[in-house]
Amino acid sequence: MMPWRHLLFTAQHGFGLTPAQFWALSVLEWRCLQSASAGHADQACLRTLMTQYPD
């Protein structure tokens, strides 16, 4: 089973992202947000990351 449904749900409810914003995230952005060693990121962390790396 693919994880996309769960990841999209997390993006919408955990970070307040629209589906378009979710699909625009890079793999690196998701790895940073989902990394257990980095702890859990919040919406402010995501906004900072997206501002620094607007790809």
- Count CB-CB contacts under 10 A for residue 54: 7
- Whether 11 and 21 have beta carbons less than 8 Å apart is answered as yes
d(CA 43, CA 2): 24
Q: What letter would DSSP give residue 37?
A: T
d(CA 40, CA 18): 20
Q: Is 6 exposed, middle or buried (0-12, 13-18, 19+ CB in 10 A)?
A: exposed
Per-residue pLDDT of the chain (55 residues; tens, 9 = 90+): 567 788 788 788 877 888 898 888 888 877 776 765 555 667 787 788 788 877 7
Domain ranges in the chain?
A: 4-52
